[in-house]
Structure 1
């Protein structure tokens, strides 16, 4: 896959359909299933495909290895890369919401940054007990405008969401459940079987009614969409490229970032 200089592989995200459940698995475990523009582009394509596939009734998103997704690939962060990733990410988030089938996030491990925003976008979320969820944007010169700043407050409350976003905090799966961030927390060994059970329950219900229920429930996401586009524009216009470089380098060098030049 090649798009404007971005290269990805179909192996980065896998699709398996069995018993009317589409399993979409993020498959870059060595990079904690981090996403760049190519991976978000492929995810959107896969979601759009299963949305109209009559052999699919439910979609499950999950990760291979110890992470659901660590979000954007910090190793490749530049100002342009950050903005381009956001452009493709907003399409993937929209594809989750516009998918005609219920989408379950099976959160098998850490879900941070854009990875957490995929959880926010999903219709339902079931987390392994070992999972952690949160944001990291303010540490590295980014901001989670595709769900973290606008939809997460609707799910867990404004003050809690601001705490997560402002401080780039991560919380346990149990805390996320108490706040309404995820629907259920189960032992790691029970994650797949529980997710399959929820999917089978959905498959037994009236499909058009579920589709209508999902479309109606998207009202707050739809209201938030303009803030996502505007947020990306503000990052593109207002974040200095050098500050993104400093955030990336500090993260990779495991040192505090020095943003004093941009205060």
Structure 2
């Protein structure tokens, strides 16, 4: 199966540049902005593009509709689809961390699974009061190895991160703020205005100094990278295809999954 065999188009993620702010908008509202391999590939390409653009000083990630991103597109979760999604997700997460410009996650709604890992990877995060953040991997036969099992603990503490990852918990934006998961929570109507204010503050600063600050702050992400690669390999080798099918079907059928054959 090649990348083009997965559903999607360039319209799934949009780019606009205004006043040196690059707005990258996830544009699959009918799926709560879920990502498959093609969407993660497109996001990585756009981030690489704006990283070297002299017309861009700050990058903002956000979603259309009522979600930032619901994470991986469960409908594509065969065993191979799950692994391929993880491989391209790692490329997108890497592009966020290596982007030469500050990246702000403007969390306009639900941020779950790989969507939450995009928030974790971003340099800053501003959340709407209605937003909820969390993971879902253990419900469907996956595991959030690209941020959830490593970087999240650096942001909110190991015990809290394990709670989120083990139980696939979701928390309200205000709780995420109290734990250090996001930088600010604002009323939904003020989200764009507040994000723009943060972006304007960054644009007023010395660009090379910001670049150095970001690159040198990446030390913890760099140390986590091997854990992410290893996690993807463990999913590829150790998660039975049939259990992925059961997790996907249970999720789509809105019933508890039965993992007893694999215990």
TM range (shorter): over 0.9
Residue 36 of structure 1: aligned partner: 36
Residue 99 of structure 1: aligned partner: 99
Residue 146 of structure 2: aligned partner: 146
Determine the C-alpha separation between the residues in 2 that align with 1:110 and 1:8: 21
Query: 1:243 and 2:243 equivalent?
Result: yes
Q: Deviations over 1:156-197 (max 9, x none)?
A: 000000000000000000000000000000000000000000
Determine the C-alpha separation between the residues in 1 that align with 2:15 and 2:5: 24
Superposed, 1:159-198 pairs within 5 Å as 159-198=159-198
Determine the C-alpha separation between the residues in 2 that align with 1:159 and 1:148: 12
Cα distance, 1:5 vs. partner? 2.2
Contact 2:4/2:38 (<8 A) preserved: no
Determine the C-alpha separation between the residues in 2 that align with 1:159 and 1:7: 37
Determine the C-alpha separation between the residues in 1 that align with 2:188 and 2:80: 37
Cα distance, 1:75 vs. partner? 1.5
Residue 54 of structure 1: aligned partner: 54
How well do the aligned residues superpose, as a CA RMSD in angstroms? 0.7
Residue 108 of structure 2: aligned partner: 108
Residue 69 of structure 2: aligned partner: 69
Residue 24 of structure 1: aligned partner: 24
SS of residue matched to 1:133: strand
SS of residue matched to 2:54: coil
Determine the C-alpha separation between the residues in 2 that align with 1:82 and 1:45: 21
Q: Gaps (5+ residues) in structure 2?
A: none
Determine the C-alpha separation between the residues in 1 that align with 2:12 and 2:159: 36
Residue 228 of structure 1: aligned partner: 228
Q: Gaps (5+ residues) in structure 1?
A: none
SS of residue matched to 1:258: coil
Determine the C-alpha separation between the residues in 2 that align with 1:44 and 1:74: 20
Q: How many residues end up aligned between the 2 structures?
A: 262
Determine the C-alpha separation between the residues in 1 that align with 2:4 and 2:90: 17
- Displaced runs of 4 or more, over 6 A: none
SS of residue matched to 1:16: strand
Cα distance, 1:4 vs. partner? 5.2
SS of residue matched to 1:205: coil
Determine the C-alpha separation between the residues in 2 that align with 1:3 and 1:232: 18
Determine the C-alpha separation between the residues in 2 that align with 1:3 and 1:149: 26
Determine the C-alpha separation between the residues in 2 that align with 1:4 and 1:75: 16
SS of residue matched to 2:56: coil
Cα distance, 1:128 vs. partner? 0.1
Determine the C-alpha separation between the residues in 1 that align with 2:136 and 2:256: 13
Cα distance, 1:28 vs. partner? 0.1
Determine the C-alpha separation between the residues in 2 that align with 1:7 and 1:210: 37
Cα distance, 1:8 vs. partner? 2.1
Q: Deviations over 1:49-92 (max 9, x none)?
A: 00000000000000000000000011121100000000000000
Determine the C-alpha separation between the residues in 2 that align with 1:41 and 1:73: 14
